[in-house]
Amino acid sequence: MQLTSLQCRGFRGLADIHFKPGPGLNVLGGANAQGKTSVLEALLYTATARSHRTTSDQELVRHGTDEFHIIAETQAVERAVRIEAHWWRGAKRFKVNGLSQSRLSDILGRLCVVFFSPEDIALVKGAAACRRLFLDMELSQLQPTYLRALQQYRQALRQRNELLRRDQTDPDMLSAWEAQLDEHGKTLMRERAAYIATLSTLASACYERVVADEPLHLIYRPDIADPDAIAATLCRARKTDLLRKSTGRGPHRDDVEILIAEKPARAFGSQGQQKSAALIIKLAEVELMRGPMGEYPLVLLDEALAELDGERSQRLLDAIPESAQAIITTAQPGQLPALTHRVTHMFHIERGILEENAP
């Protein structure tokens, strides 16, 4: 998939921009606070209907205005897709190829992106919730069935928690929601297990190429080991759950363990190791999201190489598939072309105004 054009109006500190990246490796350079991350954030918003930096869309609107508009145009084998995101006074609307879309599942997956931001180090270093969010976001993009199961699981969880909060002990009411949690939780667990197994294989191969002698492994650590035992576990936990007034067990407590050289990277990894691992997990996803026609997702890397040594940076850039389109931001635009001959287009952003430079 190639992004051919991105137009933004009223988004963050960006001026009205029209960004036309080329195929291959695009570099977006500029000093701090000029709008580099905002450009990638706008793209991510058209792909996922959310920002990676905030859950409040209000923050995305340029100060002093009440409306933003983003149009992303992509070209994939045999099809062109135009996605429009329009936010006006608290209401967001999406159009795909001119047709209004009412459900999130109709938007996700239209523009396939893999996004790495400096915050993604939390994937390795942060709490389990960060890894669950990652799993949920990625699997929802990949499979509409996962998104549906997730929405229904969350709904059932809210309902069961509500009963617990109200000290409601009626076994029929509890077991009705437990059956729902069981049904949809199973789907989540099965998809997560399969996804992590594939991602781990791809990530270890990639990590080995970048950091020669340290193996990287990802292991799915479900809260309830057996996907067929969710309802039974919840039933047994009712007493404790009534005391804590929330559901203490289930896939909403799952985790993924990340090991570097057989040791948990969360506790023992250096800053550079943690960052490389997070980045390589994202690059493994690029492989995993390759479509049936062999098309790669759009790769967005925000300040991906800052803090990494020259050799590691070079190998990481080499790990981006040749035929993938990538947009890489950097506050040191001289750095990237020096590391790779693959840079095809250079852009510069200053006070929200974006222009193309000669590479």
Ligand X SMILES: Nc1ncnc2c1ncn2[C@@H]1O[C@H](COP(=O)(O)OP(=O)(O)OP(=O)(O)O)[C@@H](O)[C@H]1O
Q: Looking at beta carbons only, is 56 or 102 nearer to ligand X?
A: 56
| Cβ-based neighbour number of residue 175 at 10 Å | 16
Q: Tell me the window of 61-69, 74-82, 185-193, 221-229 that interacts with ligand X (CB under 6 A).
A: 61-69
Report strand pairing: 2-9 vs 298-302: unpaired
Are 317 and 326 in contact, with CB atoms under 8 Å apart?
Answer: no
Candidate list 6, 29, 36, 211; residue touching ligand X; CB under 6 A = 36
DSSP state of 60: G
**34 touches which of Mg ion, ligand X, none (CB within 5 to 8 A by kind)?**
ligand X
Q: Which is nearer to ligand X, 33 or 235 (CB)?
A: 33
Contact between 291 and 111 (Cβ < 8 Å): no
Residue 36 or residue 275: which is nearer to Mg ion going by CB? 36
Cβ 320 to ligand X shortest distance, Å: 20
Min dist. Cβ of residue 265 to ligand X (A) = 25
Choose one: 55-63, 126-134, 144-152, 244-252; the region binding ligand X (CB under 6 A). 55-63
Interface of this chain with ligand X, residues 63 to 102, rule: CB under 6 A: 63
Draw the binding track, 273-312, toward ligand X (x: CB under 6 A; -: no contact).
Answer: ----------------------------------------
38 binds, among Mg ion, ligand X, none (CB under 5 to 8 A by kind): ligand X
Under the binding rule (CB under 5 A), the answer on residue 180 touching Mg ion is no
Q: Which two tokens stand for residue 268?
A: 């023992």
DSSP codes of every residue in 40-101:
HHHHHHHHHSS-SS-S-GGGGBPTT-SEEEEEEEEEETTEEEEEEEEEETTEEEEEETTEEE
Indicate the pairing of strand 216-221 with strand 255-260: antiparallel
Q: Is 37 in the site for Mg ion (CB under 5 A)?
A: yes
3-state helix, strand, coil in the chain (%, to 5): 45, 25, 30
Encoded one letter per residue, x for contact with Mg ion by CB under 5 A and - for no contact, window 134-173 reads: ----------------------------------------
> Of 194, 196, 181, 198, which is closest to residue 253 (Cα–Cα)?
181
Residue with token string 């928690």: 161
Which CB atom, from 226 or from 355, has the smaller least distance to ligand X?
355
Structure tokens at 258: 């990340």
- C-alpha closest to that of 182 among 228, 242, 135: 228
Which member of 2, 19, 27, 62 binds ligand X (CB under 6 A)? 62
Q: Which of residues 2-21 bind ligand X (CB under 6 A)?
A: 12-13
Q: Does 34 bind ligand X (CB under 6 A)?
A: yes
Residue 38 as a binder of ligand X (CB under 6 A): the answer is yes
In angstroms, the CA 216 to CA 202 distance is 10
| Amino acid identity at 173 | M
With CB under 5 to 8 Å by kind, the binding choice for 235 among Mg ion, ligand X, none is none
Q: Please give the Cα distance from 210 to 107 (Å, whole number).
A: 34
The site partner of 13 among ligand X, Mg ion, none (C-beta below 5 to 8 Å per kind) is ligand X
Residue showing tokens 């992303």: 72
Among 35, 185, 251, 297, binds ligand X (CB under 6 A): 35
- Measured in degrees and rounded to the nearest 5, phi and psi for residue 121 equal -60, -25
Residues 17-36 within binding reach of Mg ion (CB under 5 A): 36
Name the strand (E) or helix (H) holding 23.
Answer: none
Q: Is position 28 an interface residue for ligand X (rule: CB under 6 A)?
A: no
- Cα 106 to Cα 38, 170, 240, 351, distances in angstroms: 24, 38, 39, 34
Residue 9 CB coordination number (10 Å) = 17
- The one segment of 56-64, 227-235, 281-289, 333-341 that binds ligand X by CB under 6 A: 56-64
Q: Which is nearer to ligand X, 35 or 222 (CB)?
A: 35
Residues that bind ligand X (CB under 6 A): 12-13, 30, 32-38, 59, 61-63, 331
